[in-house]
Amino acid sequence: MCGIVGYVGARPALDVVLAGLKRLEYRGYDSAGVAVLADGGLATARKAGKLLNLEKELAERPLSTGPTGIGHTRWATHGAPTDTNAHPHLDNAGRVAVVHNGIIENFACLRAELAERGHELSSETDTEVVAHLLAEEFSSCADLAEAMRLVCRRLEGAFTLVAVHADEPDVVVGARRNSPLVVGVGDGEAFLASDVAAFIAHTRSAIELGQDQVVELRRGGVLVTGFDGRPADVRSYHVDWDASMAEKGGYDYFMLKEIAEQPKAVADTLLGRIDASGSLTLDEVRIGASELREMDKVVIVACGTAFHAGLIAKYAIEHWTRIPCEVELASEFRYRDPILDPRTLVIAISQSGETMDTLMALRHAREQGSKVLAICNTNGSTIPRESDAVLYTHAGPEVAVASTKAFLTQLVACYLVALYLGQVRGTKWGDEIQAVVRELSRSSQDVERVLDTMEPVRALARSLAHKGTVLFLGRHVGYPVALEGALKLKELAYMHAEGFAAGELKHGPIALIEEDLPVVVVVPSPRGRSVLHDKIVSNIQEIRARGARTIVIAEEGDETVVPYADHLIRIPATPTLLQPLVATVPLQVFACELATARGNEVDQPRNLAKSVTVE
């Protein structure tokens, strides 16, 4: 979750680190801090609250700076978000500075050991013990990288650590276990960060760090070893987006920009997936067709918004392939002893590729012999690296905490996987697949059309800013869309919002309906499976008879719903299974505008962080 930046080179380190932290603040904004090597020692500043508070502190009390430094923006785990608990943490002598992402599970016993040896720890964090342990090991070996290796072998849990030492002023050392850390390599300079966004303005050359590895950054190069000290193989890659894509570009919020980028993101995710004959060619899916034909069950694991994408994927996979499909919350998956074997295909969905619950679920699946296919937006991240195959979405950087374009591109990727399984298993004819692909290819234009008609949705959202509750109803693939709409409102507006399967209304939830309660209803197409449409129109009548204010999302040309809609939001006509690509967009705009009207921080909602890298 937390954001980490490290730099060594010729530039003023403080400037580089602060700029990197601005790009990573979406990962946590409870506190922020920096440490730079200058004048033979360490200069540090830490401040609770958002990065702006730290910048004000530095404006009032400037730090000396040199060419080496580290920084941190925090999502609190151990200890409240206070100045004292903010990173970096130092040893008693003030010669070592450490920043940390993750949780050190055995910190309590390590802290007790340190206290017995006379160390004085001032914070409530698990991180501070690492600074003291590094100081002890460095006193013996005088090598920060070796000290890091020795300390890491004693730590339990998931962590990324980055450290500097006043006695090695031209070195930054990092370590990772089950938590993201990426290296940027420039001309006479090197970077460490939780995300490439931190250094994309300076270099697009990156190096993946593997599990249980330590990296030494110097101006002359980068050295990667395992925790055991042996040299490690590394993989370099080129980042395929630039700094401008991580800027607001004139929008008030990153979320608004990312909503507007969805037509391009959808089109980019489809690019190059279809060959000249019209067949799907998913080159990244490195599981052979013969193996896929042997699969007799699909299990999807994901969290949050990605889980809702998985729920929609279930409908497509079962309809197009006739393979049974289960969708599991990754945080619950391995604790219920799931039934897995080599004939089970597990699909792990994660925007960041670092979601800890999903990562642990896929590891459990691989231990049981199952093949794992990752759907991910981040090249070089852990989940794709540990999976048997990957399908990358091409959404570009998503900075706002509430996911928008990542969700739509996850849907596209899920549809592609479902069609590909249908293709290799022979459950869909080539012309059938081509027809769906044509509809998918048109979806970016359909999303663009929806975005062009959103002003009434914004006005409606502003008019409901005083409400305490909004309910969402849907059937079939509209049900996960309802869940996603409710989640967006919870995340951004801090409102009570719930999504229900519309058919479940009479089994309890209809008791919630009262006069003027806003209820958003996602209406399926009257074409195709018309029974779905007829049933939900009946549901709208039931809630309207009890005084609800009905907000109806229905496709163009559907006149049946008009008499029962207090507010009607039109979307382009699409096949039933693909409707979530267009039906979700008004709900994103609705939540963003309602949160703005309530005076909330849209990009950085309270208590949340973009990438959940702890369990």
Active-site residue set: 2, 610
**Token couple for 90:** 């130092």
- C-alpha angle 570-572-576 in degrees, rounded to nearest 5: 105
CA-closest candidate to residue 490, choices 478, 499, 500? 499
Number of neighbouring beta carbons within 10 Å of residue 546: 15
CB atoms within 10 A of CB 355: 29
CA 186/CA 200 separation, integer angstroms = 10
Q: What is d(CA 311, CA 325) in angstroms, rounded to the nearest whole number? A: 10
| Short-list 164, 148, 159, 134, CA closest to 44 | 164
In 3-state terms, what secondary structure has residue 300? Answer: strand
DSSP class of residue 423?
A: H
Helix axes 580-597, 405-425, angle to 10 degrees: 170
Contact residues for 400 (Cβ-Cβ < 8 A; gap 6+): 26, 253, 254, 255, 258, 602, 603, 610
Of 271, 268, 285, 238, which is closest to residue 384 (Cα–Cα)?
285
Exposure letters 91-111 (e unless 16+ CB within 10 A, then b):
beeebbbbbbbbbbeebeebb
Q: Among the residues of 494-611, which ranges form H helices?
A: 530-544, 580-597
Q: What is the largest CA-CA distance in the chain?
A: 80
User: Residues with Cβ < 8 Å from 60, sequence gap 6 or more?
Assistant: none
What is the distance between the alpha carbons of residues 191 and 179, in angstroms, rounded to a whole number? 17
* Element holding 422 (H helix, E strand): helix 405-425
Give the orientation angle of helix 51-60 with respect to helix 13-24, to 10 degrees. Answer: 160
